[in-house]
C-alpha cells in the first residue's frame, strides 16, 4: 500500500513539474516580446498608457432656439399631439362612450317586449332549474 502511495506521489510531482517546463518552452522569450512591442510602437499600433481615449459624444445641439421649441410645444399641447407623461400614461385604457343611445322609456319598452317574447333569462333560483 505504501508503494502505491509513493508511486502516485512521484507521478503527480512529475506531472506538475513537466507542465511548467512545457509551458515555458512554448512561450516566446523576453527578447522576442520586446522586439514585437518596439515594432508595434514604431508602426503606431500601440494604445497609449492610461484609460485610453473616449470617443466624443454626438452633438446634441438643436437647430431651433429655446423660444421656438417652447412655441412648438405649446402648439402641440393645444392640438393634443403631446403624449401624456409618466409611466401610468401607457396603462390608461380608452374610456367607453358614456350614456346610452336609448332613453329610459325606450329601454323599459324593449325589456317588456323581450319579457313577453320569452327572450329574457329567468332571475334567481329559476335560472338554475332550467
Q: With contact defined as beta carbons under 8 Å apart, do 111 and 104 qualify?
A: no
For residue 82, give the nearest of 91, 90, 92, 73 by alpha carbon: 73
Q: What is residue 23's predicted lDDT score, i.e. its pLDDT?
A: 55
Q: With contact defined as beta carbons under 8 Å apart, do 114 and 120 qualify?
A: yes
Q: What is residue 86's predicted lDDT score, i.e. its pLDDT?
A: 76
Q: pTM to 2 decimals?
A: 0.26
d(CA 82, CA 48): 48
* Tens-digit pLDDT string for the chain (130 aa): 677 766 676 666 676 666 655 555 678 889 999 999 999 888 888 877 776 666 666 777 778 899 999 999 999 989 988 887 777 666 666 666 667 788 999 999 999 999 899 888 877 776 566 5
Domain coordinates in residue numbering, the chain: 2-43
Q: What is residue 85's predicted lDDT score, i.e. its pLDDT?
A: 78
d(CA 130, CA 122): 9
Q: What are the start-end ranges of the H helices in 27-121? A: 30-43, 66-79, 104-117
Q: What is residue 100's predicted lDDT score, i.e. its pLDDT?
A: 76
Q: What is residue 20's predicted lDDT score, i.e. its pLDDT?
A: 57
Q: What is residue 118's predicted lDDT score, i.e. its pLDDT?
A: 87
d(CA 73, CA 121): 55
Amino acid at each position: 500500500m505504501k508503494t502505491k502511495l509513493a508511486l502516485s506521489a512521484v507521478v503527480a510531482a512529475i506531472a506538475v513539474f513537466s507542465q511548467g517546463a512545457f509551458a515555458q518552452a512554448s512561450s516566446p522569450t523576453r527578447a522576442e516580446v520586446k522586439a514585437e512591442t518596439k515594432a508595434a510602437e514604431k508602426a503606431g499600433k500601440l494604445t497609449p498608457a492610461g484609460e485610453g481615449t473616449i470617443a466624443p459624444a454626438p452633438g446634441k445641439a438643436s437647430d431651433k432656439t429655446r423660444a421656438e421649441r417652447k412655441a412648438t410645444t405649446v402648439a402641440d399641447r393645444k392640438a393634443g399631439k403631446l403624449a401624456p407623461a409618466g409611466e401610468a400614461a401607457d396603462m390608461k385604457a380608452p374610456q367607453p362612450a358614456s350614456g346610452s343611445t336609448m332613453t329610459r322609456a325606450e329601454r323599459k319598452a324593449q325589456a317588456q317586449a323581450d319579457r313577453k317574447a320569452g327572450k329574457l333569462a329567468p332571475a334567481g333560483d329559476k335560472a338554475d332549474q332550467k
